[in-house]
Structure 1
């Protein structure tokens, strides 16, 4: 091909065919001493991590009763030639091939000519004159030196061109190195990149071991950036050896700044088996690709650095023929080892090839064509993001996890190619993926990015800004960071009121969310008017019997329940249940939710006999409509079990709690906050039954989950600390109970204030604990913490 490709501002020139005079030179005739060979006079400074491949290669070559052919295949720079050289040199020393070791350069001069030249110069054969090349070849094979022979064909680009020159007979062993996938008719050894330990060993051997070990973490990052590719590692290692004052972190910064155009990846030294830099090595394969295959490469280079599901690629070429796309993939990219199959309809790019493809697309003469490809990736990623549920199950997480690296990469690097709405969908989807698993720390930067994006892309006070603020506030609510959530919700509400009107449903939702925050903070008097107003808006906009009204009735009733205003809560819940039954049907999941909430009210009022049938019916609806293992059922099981526990029906409560825990572990994961809640509930049952030794490990595991997922200072973590403290208190382990109480109170006073019901409950538990310690005369087992000593003095003065 004649087209010249500009890569990163530099023209990579690749010498091929007769013009390549950099590597090998004609060999003069020499006396035959020992086993004849023409192995290149180059030596690797280090060869690591390939002992298993050398053994496997030898086993392949010794199999069969006819010409044994084994092919070393893989991407450019993977170390195919070096592996072949190491094998040939080792077995030359071992005298495995007394008939000779013949090294043939398949990409250069005619292979037949090289074989005849070897026979003359190394074997001392006098080839008769007057024969054409094919006849000369045949004569050479017939008169070849006795014994097993190793023929190495290095860098085969077209097996059909060299096949006519090959001998027959089982004493000839043919070793091929190629970037091609030659098919199942060959014994093929596809070599992979090095493992991390081997990559580090290679750097140690090329530079100073102490230098690498002194900056080990940076060295690991360096290996990772290079994708553990032997060529890249060797080039960088040799570059570092020449620059003893260059710190590894500076080397990494240079690579990150200049990418494949970095000098370290282009400087090839004499004595290396590789004769090309990284980009130039990839260029050899690139030159074999046709135009449509290159277009596919431009697209693939902008996916994330992770396996790609082929259906995403097909979706990017929505108007193309999937079979044509398959052919380009299989016959071009995979054939030339530019793309690797990593699973069923799943493919992977090496990160340096990905860098190469990106650079090629940047240098494209028609950038608008590449921009269109980038936009197609963004469109596909946004479509995936919109399928992410608020609380994904493990099955949904498994479905979505492969897409997340690509969603994140596109959201970080292709922002200019997203539409405004798709950009918000992508960022919010990623955030929901993490927050739905209780991984709030990972979700936070994506929700913040959504807020920033909305502010940049939309005019001031646009409703999309309000929606993004609302989402970030709900995350902070879940994280217990109430003081940070409040101003966001207040601003979100103001935007909705200003832009959409005081009576818009979005305004009502914003009022509802701010109210929920206030009652989590114990600020019930501030929450109530917001919920009342939200309910009024929905009644006005949707009608008195709309299902949306039922949900708001439930929320207001829950506030009244928490405030102890049971007589006001009951009619709201009764009305909510009637709406659901009338509008959605007696067996709808929302009807089950309403039954559950009315039962919780009766539970709080001590009307257990009325609560039980409602919870039983609610559970039956969930099981019928959602399936026996749906996460929504776990909550219903928990509530019924809690009722049985309070009624002293422990044997009926235990299997319900166990089933609730099993569902949460199975559907949401062993470390999900909902799993921690189930553990707490089961532990409480065992505590109530006097089975404290069984309760303790459950409490400890629950606390560990809360601390890991929600944070050490989350209000739910404080309640978990309180529960464990109560257990230790009950069994006389006062020295272990006290620091848990103190820590719980510190969190609650800081996050919820002194007047919050949860704070008051834990404070009362702490005082009861101290009273028992004083009564038992064991205050010496307590610490000198000011909170503890102050409370003891308060109790002693009150006696």
Structure 2
């Protein structure tokens, strides 16, 4: 050869140039979509094994609940149905693929349809799967080669053969969490010959024009428990399974992992109850690690791990230019999975990581990825699954936790009044209780949060407890206060000012709930601690003294109660003056345990002058003054005072406020003493009905009211 040769190699071919005779042998093995080998070859097979069978890690033996949803989907594969796209959307792990699998089985076994299943999680998987669908529906090798090489539009080829299918079909596009994969190239279409079902975490309607969106949520309690019993029938009772299911938020993925773990233990199997205790941190167990251990029986890819399944959504948000959504989700992870008032996010600011102007768009990103949802109601709330929040917090780096917890505490303090008033509660207040407790639990569980942040959290809990108490929600106030003391003591110690005040609030709530002996014991211990730590004249010490006077008086030790109340009055008068609001509160209580006509008149005059007649302290003082007059057997004077006190309470706080009912009880006694039996009887009946409704039949005040009513009827 005396010149150059022009040549071109196609595909995996090569061009050789030589100056002598050579014998060259090459073997080419072509797999699907550019694979490295085919059946019988020595390479790795990269093609699809089947589009006629769902590629799911582990299908549920029984699909629990989903009755209404499945009825709608079964209708979509009826003989005359077609030309529609259905989108199953919801949080990762909520069971979208399980629902699709159940429909696939029904369509192929009972509805007479061909089932086609494609993984739509990324472009390569989607393209490979859809071309395999075209091959299944009759596309020839030449058509497929042209589509693979770009000489023919691949999506057009697929849908042309779907449109000409000799049998009706169901096409499932699973894990389409990035809708752009479907949109780019026009892969998502409709055909009169079949029905398309998409599973996705992406809930934004603009991605699915013309489709019918169907949300998949968590399971009802009974069905969630049955899932656990299906997987691990020997592990415990239905009641124990219900408790574990509730702890897991009834999320199908978490239930499957828990059941798989329980079913596959060998050496020392746990019961359901033991598993539940370990989910709550028993034996130092990490609940997310514990759940992930159950993935061995479910096919241990990242979509079957609680610790990583939601990372797909977070990665998608970052890819969409919404890293702020990740920061916002980490902030939400400071709180609980209960409904969270949206107002708690007002004014959130975390520097460049989450600027205030980007909070709205960050939240929209979370909503679109089904990572949270808006719950309608009197108070608009967000609800984010608790297992998701636990997983996100666990994956948050230590250097971020302090700023996140500090921001969460600041948001709580911004919506809780520093000095809550008595009366009708802000409907948000009770909704904040689980979130404040969860925040404190987060910081107690790890060493990554500084003391100032813990102080702010304790202060927010104290404000919350006071607000609940003054709204008349004594049982929730007690629950929150006890939990705050239990957790807060671990970080701050029992003598920290906020912990002492929370302990005193435990005593107050016990007293209002009629548990007087327990209230006395709590108050005595807190009073001793305040005297030791802060001194005998400190404000907290005087508050404890006044608090102890209440149960002591009810338990019949009037002289001691009077001494305790006088101590509070004297101390506050010395430090604050005689007409300071806190001094007036102490004077009002002293009046109720030690009635004096002159002291009562002077007290009422001071309240009217300093605060006005409708101030909560004046209203409460009016009742104490009326009670003092009645105790002194000045019944004729007590009647107008009692009527006015009841009117003020009903106007200010409502008819069902517990102390309004106390005012009604006093009025009924005054009326009976004056011989106004019919009116006294009606008032006593109203008090019994109110206390039954508000306090319950076992409360001592309810029992007393019933006994009084019986006496009035007997008379």
Q: TM-score, normalised by structure 2?
A: 0.75
**Pairwise CA distance, 1:653:** 2.0
CA distance in 1, matches of 2:683, 2:375: 42
The one of 667, 671, 676 aligned to 1:649: 676
Match of 1:53 in 2: 69
1:279 aligns with 2:279: no
1:194 aligns with 2:219: yes
CA distance in 1, matches of 2:584, 2:457: 33
**Pairwise CA distance, 1:628:** 6.9
CA distance in 1, matches of 2:619, 2:78: 71
Match of 1:422 in 2: 456
SS of equivalent residue, structure 1 residue 327 = helix
**Pairwise CA distance, 1:380:** 2.4
1:25–1:96 CA distance, 2 compared to 1 (3 A):
farther
**Pairwise CA distance, 1:414:** 1.7
Match of 1:219 in 2: 241
Instruction: Write the deviation string for residues 682-704 of structure 1: whole angstroms up to 9, x where unpaired.
Output: 6524532338xxxxxxxxxxxxx
**Pairwise CA distance, 1:450:** 8.4
Match of 1:156 in 2: 176
CA distance in 1, matches of 2:507, 2:125: 71
- Kindly indicate whether the alpha-carbon contact (under 8 Å) linking 2:121 and 2:175 is maintained by their aligned counterparts in 1: yes
Instruction: Write the deviation string for residues 209-237 of structure 1: whole angstroms up to 9, x where unpaired.
Output: 3x03x454443344344433333333443
- Kindly indicate whether the alpha-carbon contact (under 8 Å) linking 1:268 and 1:274 is maintained by their aligned counterparts in 2: no
- Aligned counterparts, 1:440-459, within 5 A: 442=479, 445-446=482-483, 448-449=485-486, 452=489, 456=493
1:171 aligns with 2:193: yes
- Kindly indicate whether the alpha-carbon contact (under 8 Å) linking 2:134 and 2:157 is maintained by their aligned counterparts in 1: no
SS of equivalent residue, structure 2 residue 328 = helix
Match of 2:404 in 1: 373
SS of equivalent residue, structure 2 residue 375 = strand
Match of 2:16 in 1: none
CA distance in 2, matches of 1:495, 1:406: 33
**Pairwise CA distance, 1:405:** 0.8
**Pairwise CA distance, 1:279:** 3.2
Instruction: Write the deviation string for residues 699-743 of structure 1: whole angstroms up to 9, x where unpaired.
Output: xxxxxxxxxxxxxxxxxxxxxxxxxxxxxxxxxxxxxxxxxxxxx
- Kindly indicate whether the alpha-carbon contact (under 8 Å) linking 1:193 and 1:228 is maintained by their aligned counterparts in 2: yes
**Pairwise CA distance, 1:654:** 3.3
**Pairwise CA distance, 1:641:** 2.1
**Pairwise CA distance, 1:646:** 1.8
Q: TM-score, normalised by structure 1?
A: 0.68
**Pairwise CA distance, 1:71:** 1.4
1:123 aligns with 2:127: no
Match of 1:412 in 2: 441
- Aligned counterparts, 1:323-342, within 5 A: 324-330=358-364, 332-342=365-375
1:466–1:198 CA distance, 2 compared to 1 (3 A):
closer
Match of 1:610 in 2: 637
**Pairwise CA distance, 1:523:** 3.7
SS of equivalent residue, structure 1 residue 412 = helix
Match of 2:428 in 1: 399
- Kindly indicate whether the alpha-carbon contact (under 8 Å) linking 1:231 and 1:274 is maintained by their aligned counterparts in 2: no
1:665–1:324 CA distance, 2 compared to 1 (3 A):
farther
CA distance in 1, matches of 2:278, 2:484: 32
**Pairwise CA distance, 1:441:** 6.2
**Pairwise CA distance, 1:295:** 1.7
1:170–1:273 CA distance, 2 compared to 1 (3 A):
farther
SS of equivalent residue, structure 1 residue 651 = helix
1:638–1:20 CA distance, 2 compared to 1 (3 A):
farther
CA distance in 1, matches of 2:35, 2:335: 37
Instruction: Write the deviation string for residues 166-213 of structure 1: whole angstroms up to 9, x where unpaired.
Output: 555422321212221251632122212333433343344434x3x03x
The one of 336, 340, 350 aligned to 2:385: 350
- Aligned counterparts, 1:650-669, within 5 A: 650-660=677-687, 669=694
CA distance in 2, matches of 1:111, 1:659: 69
- Aligned counterparts, 1:32-43, within 5 A: 37=52, 39-40=54-55
SS of equivalent residue, structure 2 residue 166 = coil
The one of 86, 90, 111 aligned to 2:102: 86
CA distance in 2, matches of 1:486, 1:135: 80
- Aligned counterparts, 1:7-86, within 5 A: 26=47, 37=52, 39-40=54-55, 44=59, 46-49=61-64, 50-60=66-76, 67-86=83-102
**Pairwise CA distance, 1:61:** 5.5
1:92–1:429 CA distance, 2 compared to 1 (3 A):
same
CA distance in 2, matches of 1:170, 1:580: 80
Instruction: Write the deviation string for residues 658-691 of structure 1: whole angstroms up to 9, x where unpaired.
Output: 555566677xx353988x6367436524532338
**Pairwise CA distance, 1:303:** 1.3
- Kindly indicate whether the alpha-carbon contact (under 8 Å) linking 2:436 and 2:457 is maintained by their aligned counterparts in 1: no
Structure (1 or 2) with the greater helix fraction: 1
**Pairwise CA distance, 1:409:** 0.9
**Pairwise CA distance, 1:46:** 0.8
Match of 2:119 in 1: 105
Instruction: Write the deviation string for residues 604-623 of structure 1: whole angstroms up to 9, x where unpaired.
Output: 44443333233344445556
- Kindly indicate whether the alpha-carbon contact (under 8 Å) linking 2:372 and 2:385 is maintained by their aligned counterparts in 1: yes
CA distance in 2, matches of 1:508, 1:339: 46
- Aligned counterparts, 1:729-748, within 5 A: none
**Pairwise CA distance, 1:649:** 1.0
- Kindly indicate whether the alpha-carbon contact (under 8 Å) linking 1:127 and 1:140 is maintained by their aligned counterparts in 2: no
CA distance in 1, matches of 2:138, 2:672: 93
- Kindly indicate whether the alpha-carbon contact (under 8 Å) linking 1:637 and 1:656 is maintained by their aligned counterparts in 2: yes
**Pairwise CA distance, 1:69:** 0.7
1:469–1:302 CA distance, 2 compared to 1 (3 A):
closer
Match of 1:247 in 2: 270
**Pairwise CA distance, 1:374:** 1.5
SS of equivalent residue, structure 2 residue 516 = coil
SS of equivalent residue, structure 1 residue 153 = strand
- Kindly indicate whether the alpha-carbon contact (under 8 Å) linking 1:424 and 1:450 is maintained by their aligned counterparts in 2: no
Match of 1:437 in 2: 473
CA distance in 2, matches of 1:288, 1:304: 24
SS of equivalent residue, structure 1 residue 414 = helix
Structure 1 spans left out of the alignment, 5+ residues: 1-16, 30-35, 562-568, 692-799
Match of 1:702 in 2: none
CA distance in 1, matches of 2:274, 2:47: 42
- Kindly indicate whether the alpha-carbon contact (under 8 Å) linking 1:127 and 1:139 is maintained by their aligned counterparts in 2: no
SS of equivalent residue, structure 2 residue 296 = coil
**Pairwise CA distance, 1:288:** 1.5
**Pairwise CA distance, 1:323:** 5.3
Aligned pair count reads 639
1:680–1:385 CA distance, 2 compared to 1 (3 A):
same
CA distance in 1, matches of 2:231, 2:199: 25
CA distance in 1, matches of 2:459, 2:678: 47
1:298 aligns with 2:330: yes
Match of 2:6 in 1: none
Match of 1:311 in 2: 343
1:233–1:173 CA distance, 2 compared to 1 (3 A):
same
**Pairwise CA distance, 1:381:** 3.0
Match of 2:41 in 1: none
**Pairwise CA distance, 1:575:** 2.7
The one of 145, 148, 159 aligned to 2:165: 145
